[in-house]
Chains A and B, each alone.
Chain A
Amino acid sequence: MAEVTLDSITKRYREETAVEGIDLTVRDGEVLGVIGPSGCGKTTLLRTIAGFETPTEGRVRFDGEDVTHVPPENRNVGLVFQSYSLFDNMSVRRNVAFGLKMQGVGRSKRRARADELLALLGIEDQAEKSPQQLSGGQQQRVGLARALAIEPRILLLDEPMTGLDAKLKRRLETEIGSLLDELGVTGLYVTHDQEEAMVMCDRLAVLDDGQIQQVGTPAEIYERPETGFVADFVGTSNSLSATVRNGEIDLGFTTYDGNGLPETTDGTVIVRPEDVSVGDGDVEAVVRDRFYLGERVRARVELPDGTGLTVDLDPSTDGAAVGDTVQVAFETEGLHVIT
């Protein structure tokens, strides 16, 4: 496995800029998630590392070695696609062994390695089948086994769970996440599903409009978003206009202890729904809408200044109906200021 570094990568297609000035390092043995909305440049980044796109500017390095102009077949990267992209004219075993065949590994060694990986992924009994005979989840395991068989310097996963049903997706996330950890694979995991990325990845890079907004652990990204986009894209958040002065946050309708937050006269306070307590507090809010989500009840309330706020109600104790007035309070530690 290798450390992969992107130095100031910019990719332009005629008039359009797909990614701009990307500096990013995938550390040896870590799985880095790249998340962002559709069209933000995630796949361009992945294809640049794989060698299918040549950056307009910048360099791609594997363990310091410049591979910017090395063709894909000489980079030794594993690719896993959303569409599985298995070779339908080959059996499952031959799919897994394909990369080894290209490397000139002998037939018996290829077979042994393919069987070992198929067993590791729990699909050893499917070895002789055609990929078309497998379920979506099984096909994705074959895709992963095929990519891992060549012991790639980096494993690139392009939205591999999209298209699978929710239950299978959750199961595979855990299984594959553990497997990648166990094997110590260096990976780049591209997805628009933040929850999936949080489960699978050691760190996340949030991308918007071709630029990196923030890189950090899932907890850092969620708890301390650096931009409004990150706060909005990752999880559910509330944005409130605020000033922070003399150690005090002024939200307009109430004030809180600034808790060491940086001073600003024109800032935005980010607060997650779980950091708003409903039932006690000094701020009155009117319930405008509520949605039963099983584990919790999510509600939209209106603050005294007309601002909307998303909050969670305890399904066992809440009695708030639409139109009711409730008292809300903000957990001071959950308040985060973006200047």
Chain B
Amino acid sequence: MARDTAGGTGTESTRTGVGARLAAVRALLSPRTEAERERRRVAVMSLPYFVLAIFGAFLPLGMLARMSLSENQFRNEGFSLDAWETLATEPVYREIAWNTLWFATVTTTFSVLVAVALSHALAKYDLPFRRWIVAMVSFPIALPGIVVGFMIVVLLGRTGLLTNAVAFFTGGSRIDLATALTVGGLFLGYAFSLIPRATMVLRGTFEEINTDAEEAARALGASPLLTFYHVTLPQVWPGVVAAFVLTFRTALAIFGTVLVLPALNVATLRINLEIQDLGFNLAVASAMGLVYFVFIFGFTFAGVRLIDNESLKI
């Protein structure tokens, strides 16, 4: 008896659910209230994104997943976990993961710190040549990574400007002094690309700061440094986290610069290597691409959660 009633209720609720969904579709197609019209506007505006997401992200990701499980390294054929096993067991991939993560973390941290100082100065002080400074800081965003890498070579390569200058003043060997192809050179290339991105995010945050609260703190006896720590930083913290998330993702994705300055074996370089130089190894490249995607997605999600967390305080 009880089961019959439950079944009846379930069917009824399913019908109600279907009915409600149909009503929602009808409201979307011919809205009658302002709230329904608003929902339709949102749906229309979101449509291009979803179309792009399906064909530009979800389908290719599905293909990557399939390719990573293929027996044949050139075609999607059969089922094999070989590529995943290779990723999990070959020491070189652990080294790549480690290199990718530590280098992205260090360059991101450095870039965000520089961007915090820069954004603070741009927002707080009436700097001379402000527009020039902003232009100088933001233009590297438009430069391709390969060009950035080349600029580092021009500056720090064996015939680089700085190398020549240092060699001239110290009498040292240009070959010994060239640092373009070292981790230091790569670090500079990354920072060149990352600082503008971090600054772009942080400038908006710093413009929103309640300067009266900062002045209140100063009047209460806090030095500029203590004011920054107690009053400014808590206000900009969500922006700093957002800048870190965005910049870290960018650091993981840098390819052109590391292609020109291959001082460190990182994920993007290795994926290229798998496809181009190591015998068109699509299965392993796909598996790496998927790991990369899952990590970035998880990292972004965690970052967004952190920014939304209202209890986040320093």
Contact = CB atoms under 8 A, between A and B. Distances in A.
A314 interface: no
Interface string B216-241: 11111111001000110011000000
Contact of B221 (A86, A89, A99): A99
Interface residues of A, number: 29
Contact of B218 (A72, A103, A146, A150): A72
Contact of A102 (B212, B213, B226): B226
B210 A83 contact: yes
A264 interface: no
Interface residues of B, number: 19
B314 A89 contact: yes
Given A98-B230, A102-B226, A86 B213 contact: yes
B82 interface: no
Contacts of A99: 220-221
A72 B217 CA distance: 9
A78 interface: yes
10 contacts: A52-B215, A73-B223, A75-B219, A76-B221, A79-B216, A79-B220, A98-B230, A102-B217, A103-B221, A146-B220
A16 B13 CA distance: 73
Nearest to A75: B219
Interface string A55-94: 0000000000000000111111111010101111100000
Q: Which 5 A-B pairs have the closest CB atoms?
A: A99-B220, A102-B221, A85-B212, A89-B234, A79-B219
B219 A102 contact: no
Contacts of A221: none
A88 to B, nearest CB: 8
A50 to B, nearest CB: 6
A143 B314 CA distance: 22
B219 A98 contact: no
Nearest to B215: A52
B213 A85 contact: yes
Nearest to B212: A85
Contacts of B218: 51-52, 71-73
Given A87-B231, A89-B234, A98-B230, A81 B219 contact: no
Nearest to A98: B220
B313 interface: yes
B232 to A, nearest CB: 10
A89 B212 contact: no
Interface string A143-174: 10011001010001000000000000000000
Contacts of A103: 221
A52 B124 CA distance: 13
A81 B234 contact: no
Contact of A146 (B216, B222, B226, B313): B216
Contact of A50 (B210, B215, B223, B314): B215
Nearest to A130: B310
A89 B233 CA distance: 10
Given A85-B210, A85-B213, A143-B216, 12 more contacts: A52-B218, A78-B219, A81-B212, A81-B215, A85-B212, A87-B213, A87-B230, A87-B231, A89-B235, A99-B220, A102-B222, A152-B219
Contacts of A74: 221
A73 B222 contact: yes
Given A85-B212, A85-B213, A73 B230 contact: no
Given A87-B231, A89-B234, A77 B217 contact: no
Contacts of B216: 79, 81, 85, 87, 143, 146-147
Nearest to B314: A89
Nearest to B219: A79
Residue with the greatest number of chain A CB neighbours at <10 A, chosen from B215, B222, B235: B215
A331 to B, nearest CB: 46
A318 B210 CA distance: 52
A98 B221 CA distance: 9
Contacts of A87: 213, 216-217, 230-231, 234
Interface in B180-235: 210, 212-213, 215-223, 226, 230-231, 234-235
